[in-house]
Amino acid sequence: MMLTKLVNKRSFYLSISTLLKKARNDRGLSMRELANKLKLDAAHLCRIENGTVSPSERLLEKIAKFLKVDLNDLQVSAGRLPKDIYEIFSEHPKEAALTLREKFEVYNYERTDQVETNKPKYFEPVFETSLGKLYQCDCLDFLPTLANESMDCIFADPPFNLNKNYGPKSNDNLAEERYINWSYQWLEECVRLLKPGGSMFVYNIPKWNIYYASFLTQRLTFRHWIAVNIKLSLPIQGRLYPSHYSLLYFTKGKPKTFNTLRVPIPACRHCGGDIKDYGGHRKYLNPAGLNITDVWEDIPPVRHKKYKTRAANELSVKLLDRALRISTQEGDTVLDPFGGGGTTYYVAEKLKRNWIGCEIEDCSHIIRRFKQELVIA
């Protein structure tokens, strides 16, 4: 630790000497002229410029004043963090690094998995219909093979990094920074693939979607943070009761398709009366229902085995039906890079949308879904 501090201090002094030399040369000043401006002995200034003597804090203030910069800015430029910032980095290194990467769009896009690097650039689909194709492969290998701006809508429901068992090829228990870095990789690809005016939905827990939203806001146009109510979620000690998943909705510029949907006026299942008081305006409500809001209370969880196509979690048909009806038309192309239970493909097929996607694990349950009629949740 002490050696590191000494090396960092030495580097800081050399950076200050470089700044001084550049400032003096840019202004055409001699060593003596600059020394006079700094009210310093010329020989002492020479040793500082050579990096053999360290500048005092008082001298740093004079240099900052001479260069017409803030003292903190001068120190950061030379590689030293102000004490309060250094303490924040020391106490929260991961959060600080991620915040800076978000602010300045500096991301580490190196592959974070252990997939073989010599992957073929062409994949054979494991299943096809007249409207869609399904591939069994890693999305980070598959997405780069698709053409720029070729998708009208993208729906992504990635693993939530909650240590679920999706199969031998998946790791749902990554270190936080590694998970976020992996997420930025496929998000960047999805942005590339989205057509102008196209829509992108990302379904995840709020913990991760705050990072995704920050990333996507710098690339796409934010539309909505949709709260999808969780039925029968479990309380977590020491925290608020978690009660929603979040569905991000972005578009690439002005949306080319936005269909306003209506939902039935909420009624009590016991007496049939209105649940909400409309303040005397009930008679003016559209008989077709209420305009849909950004809080979705009516999405059923897919937990009962008669509705599921696999053992792991999968999305409700109603959720995908709503998202695709809002953002697409017949004939549009929908991409889902995380096939999961195949709900996106199943709904796209029913709505006469073209679809394409991949799943890293076994795809037999998705294929089976298309080959037999299932009870729709």
For position 20, which CATH number holds? Answer: 1.10.260.40
> Minimal CA–CA distance to 251: which of 331, 328, 196?
196
Residue 262's pLDDT is: 83
Same domain, 67 and 138: no
Same domain, 192 and 306: yes
- Domain membership of residue 113 (yes or no) is no
Same domain, 208 and 313: yes
- Domain membership of residue 143 (yes or no) is yes
Residue 157's pLDDT is: 97
- Domain membership of residue 135 (yes or no) is yes
What is the domain extent for residue 61? 2-91
- Domain membership of residue 67 (yes or no) is yes
- Domain membership of residue 114 (yes or no) is no
Residue 1's pLDDT is: 35
Q: Which amino acid belongs to residue 340?
A: G
Same domain, 174 and 305: yes
Residue 101's pLDDT is: 67
- Domain membership of residue 183 (yes or no) is yes
Residue 335's pLDDT is: 98
Query: Which segments in the chain show pLDDT lower than 50?
Result: 1-7, 114-120, 304, 307-308, 310, 374-377
* pLDDT tens, residue by residue, 320-373: 999 999 999 999 999 999 999 999 999 999 999 999 999 999 999 999 999 875
Q: Which amino acid belongs to residue 23?
A: A
| Secondary structure of residue 232 in the 3-state scheme | coil
- Please list, in sequence order, all residues whose beta carbon lies within 8 angstroms of the beta carbon of residue 365, skipping any fewer than 6 positions away: 309, 310, 341, 342
CATH for 344:
3.40.50.150
Structural domain total, the chain: 2
Residue 131's pLDDT is: 96
Measured between alpha carbons, how far is 312 from 298 in angstroms, rounded to an integer? 22
Residue 122's pLDDT is: 79
Same domain, 161 and 290: yes
Instruction: Kindly state the helix (H) or strand (E) to which residue 29 belongs, with its residue range.
Output: none
The DSSP bridge pattern shows strands 132-135 and 151-156 to be unpaired
| Secondary structure of residue 204 in the 3-state scheme | strand
The DSSP bridge pattern shows strands 221-229 and 151-156 to be unpaired
Q: Quick one: DSSP state of residue 164? A: -
Same domain, 17 and 137: no
Among candidate residues 63, 91, 119, the one where a domain is terminated: 91
